[in-house]
Structure 1
Amino acid sequence: MAILTAQAYAAKDFNLAGLNGISDKTLEIHFALYKGYVTNTNTLNEQIADLINNGKIGTPTYAELKRRLGFEYNGMVLHEYYFGNLKNGGSDAPKSGKLIDAISAGYGDYETWKNDFVKVGAMRGVGWAVAYQDPSSGRISNHWITLHEDGNPAGYKPILVMDVWEHAFLLDYKPAERPKYIEAFFTNIDWSAVEGRLL
């Protein structure tokens, strides 16, 4: 029988110092949280591989580790998308091109899409606002993701990811000031990175 080797991930580095409205201290704490997801993903993968290698597939321990892996892995990946679609100084949303065409196909125009995305991000609760691209139609649609693994539409590609868990803004804004954080987030978007994610 072949021995399964666990997939290992390395935390990525993001140079985001000096963002508008998102402090370096918030980023420092946020990066540490992200690295925790990477560590936990690696630990779970090792533990699952060990159970598989020892013939313990399907045990209650195996089942719980598999369930937990979805939370940790998606926490890692969503943070990589989030940090990856930010840059110091941001950029203006494109006026035309593939991204605007995909947004317009789903919402009619950029402003309607943005209003919907902002309102998704401002909903009560902790989670993520994510603009996804439907691979079958190419259209963009906005979704609320709760615990990293709850609410991701199967097969859709994340295009723009906004973390709206309180750790993303609590040092800079009061809990009721999430709209101010969302406004700051939009001033830091790297639209070329977002457009580069299109299918």
Structure 2
Amino acid sequence: MAYEARNYEQLLGIEGLSDPLMKNHFTLYQGYVANTNKLADALNQMLKDGKAATPEYAELKRRFGWEFNGMRLHEYYFGNMVKGGNSLDSGSELYGKLAADFGSYDNWQKDFKGTGAMRGIGWVVLYLDPVANRMCNAWIGEHDTGHLAGGVPLLIMDVFEHAFMIDYGLKRADYIEAFFKGIDWSAVAQRCANAPKATV
């Protein structure tokens, strides 16, 4: 069954991110969905044709991770944003967990923003490690490298240039501040609440 692109037009008009930037970003995301489907179809056909041991199959299989993660990370990213944002209740379980795991909420925020400000293209992900029941921020480069095995993504920020350059040029720190104003903390809390418990 084919993957379908989700509609995120409700984010148009979000403070700090222009409509032209967001529309370009939506188009980019739709391309990842389309390419994920094309690769899935091509891989299935090659499997039926007995070509699973070929270099071509191996390359398409590697490429699938890039396209799939490009699709899914954008869905997490757009899904943890909302016009006007909403604040994280300092009395909430999520706030308490961030404070406990990072020493304070401010420490978590500094670490997340600092990770996003690093040189390079990629993503910043607040993960919950369900084995240790501990949160950590991680850098994902190139969509498919740097993921924490078994980690549950809670908050995702895109720091590829397409996410900010139309509006901010090279001022990534200004984009990060704008992103924080649009975080949908209720979506992040829901992801945390729904996280599976895991053992290894």
Q: Is 1:57–2:52 an aligned residue pair?
A: yes
Which residue matches 2:188?
194
Query: Distance between the aligned counterparts of 1:23 and 1:136, measured in 2?
Result: 39
Post-superposition Cα deviations, 1:62-99, rounded to whole Å, max 9, x if no partner, equal: 00000000000000000000000000000112202221
Post-superposition Cα deviations, 1:141-191, rounded to whole Å, max 9, x if no partner, equal: 00000000100001100000000000001110021x100000000000000
Of 1, 6, 10 in structure 1, the residue corresponding to residue 4 of structure 2 is 10
Query: Distance between the aligned counterparts of 2:191 and 2:93, measured in 1?
Result: 11
Query: Distance between the aligned counterparts of 2:44 and 2:91, measured in 1?
Result: 47
Which residue matches 2:166?
171
Instruction: Within 5 Å, give how 1:1-199 maps onto structure 2.
Output: 7-14=1-8, 15-175=10-170, 177-198=171-192, 199=195
8 Å CA contact 2:124–2:158 kept in 1: the answer is yes
Which residue matches 1:4?
none
Query: Distance between the aligned counterparts of 1:47 and 1:105, measured in 2?
Result: 47
Q: How many residues are aligned here?
A: 192
Q: Which amino acid aligns with 2:190?
A: G
Hey, which bits of structure 1, 4+ residues long, moved more than 6 A?
none
Identity of aligned residues (%): 50
CA RMSD, Structure 1 to Structure 2 (Å): 0.9
Moved more, 130-139 or 177-186: 130-139
Question: TM-score if structure 2 supplies the norm length?
Answer: 0.94
